[in-house]
């Protein structure tokens, strides 16, 4: 752990954050998870409104913190968690838009890899394109856990895009490569984990379908996102 804490973006002290962190994009969702799934909850961060909490889940210490939207935002927070607070595991939990016909709203996608149109990886000066992938340890635990749950699950590649409002021609190209869904954060998280020699996984719930025009209602989002949170927490326990 670096002695440079608190960081510019996280006010936590040494020991405030657990070794495993769930990261939804929305800080208010982090608050909801902390209040409804964890016990003995303590807030460790409010800087810039990016809420972070630590509590216990079935006896295990777990933290949950918002990441914000996009790769620059999750890049900052995951870097500081890995390199300043000795966090070992980060599981991103969020929403994604389906690209493939066999992937439907409410389905859960476990991201084995994360393609991207971002230049985030150029900071490493690799002279080539890095393939961001999940940590196998977390991936295998999540898949094993998901098989025991009454959910529809897909495992494969997703795309982390810098753009939210993009032309369908963009989505069609990724769709043609077999990419399951599109979101905005996983690739940066996977790169930070690789560089920090830590573990990362992205689990997303399909909230809409890019080509079919389907989307979840607010009530359906509540249940679907609940399954995803339960899966992530069960993965941490294994």
Tell me the mean pLDDT in the region 54-81: 98
Active site residues: 208
Count of other CB atoms within 10 angstroms of residue 14: 12
Res. 223 pLDDT band, cuts 50 70 90: low
Tell me the mean pLDDT in the region 228-233: 97
- Report residue 23 as tokens: 């990261």
- Give the whole-number percent of the chain exceeding pLDDT 70: 97
Task: Supply the pLDDT for residue 161.
Answer: 96
Instruction: Tell me the pLDDT tens digit for each residue of 192-219.
Output: 999 999 999 999 999 999 999 899 887 7
Q: For residue 165, is pLDDT > 60?
A: yes
Q: Which helix (H) or strand (E) holds 223?
A: helix 218-237
Q: Write the burial class of residue 2 (CB in 10 Å: 0-12 exposed, 13-18 middle, 19+ buried).
A: exposed
How far apart CA 64 and CA 74 sit, in angstroms, is 13
Q: For residue 221, is pLDDT > 80?
A: no
- Compute the CA torsion angle 89, 59, 32, 90 (nearest 10 deg): 0
Q: For residue 220, is pLDDT > 90?
A: no
Torsion sign across C-alpha atoms 233, 234, 235, 238:
positive
Structural domains in the chain?
20-237 (3.40.50.1580)
Q: For residue 222, is pLDDT > 80?
A: no
Task: Supply the pLDDT for residue 125.
Answer: 94
How far apart CA 231 and CA 33 sit, in angstroms, is 13
Task: Supply the pLDDT for residue 168.
Answer: 87
Res. 151 pLDDT band, cuts 50 70 90: very high
Tell me the mean pLDDT in the region 84-113: 97
How far apart CA 137 and CA 190 sit, in angstroms, is 13
Q: Which helix (H) or strand (E) holds 159?
A: strand 153-160
Tell me the mean pLDDT in the region 69-84: 98
Q: For residue 1, is pLDDT > 70?
A: no
Chain-centroid distance of CA 163 in Å reads 17
Q: Where are the beta strands (DSSP E) in 185-235?
A: 199-209
CA angle in degrees (0–180, nearest 5) for 209-210-212:
60
Task: Supply the pLDDT for residue 48.
Answer: 96
- Give the whole-number percent of the chain exceeding pLDDT 90: 90
Task: Supply the pLDDT for residue 26.
Answer: 93
Tell me the mean pLDDT in the region 26-54: 96
């Amino acid at each position: 752990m670096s002695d440079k804490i608190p960081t510019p973006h996280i006010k936590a002290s040494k020991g405030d954050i657990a070794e495993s962190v769930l990261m939804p994009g929305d800080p208010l969702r982090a608050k909801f998870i902390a209040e409804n799934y964890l016990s003995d909850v303590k807030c460790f961060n409010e800087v810039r409104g990016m809420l972070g909490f630590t509590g216990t889940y079935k006896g295990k210490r777990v933290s949950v913190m918002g990441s914000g939207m996009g790769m620059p935002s999750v890049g900052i927070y995951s870097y500081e968690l890995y390199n300043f607070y000795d966090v070992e595991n980060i599981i991103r939990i969020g929403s994604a838009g389906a690209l493939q016909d066999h992937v439907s709203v409410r389905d859960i996608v476990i991201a084995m890899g994360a393609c991207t149109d971002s230049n985030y990886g150029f900071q490493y000066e690799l002279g080539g394109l890095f393939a961001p992938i999940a940590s196998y340890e977390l991936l295998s635990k999540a898949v094993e856990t998901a098989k025991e749950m009454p959910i529809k699950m897909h495992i494969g590649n997703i795309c982390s895009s810098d753009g939210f409002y993009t032309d369908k021609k963009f989505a069609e190209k990724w769709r043609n490569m077999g990419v399951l869904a599109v979101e905005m954060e996983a690739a940066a998280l996977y790169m930070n984990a690789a560089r920090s020699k830590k573990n990362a996984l992205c689990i997303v719930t399909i909230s809409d379908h890019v080509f079919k025009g389907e989307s979840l209602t607010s009530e359906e989002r509540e249940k679907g996102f609940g399954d995803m949170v339960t899966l992530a927490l069960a993965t941490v326990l294994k």
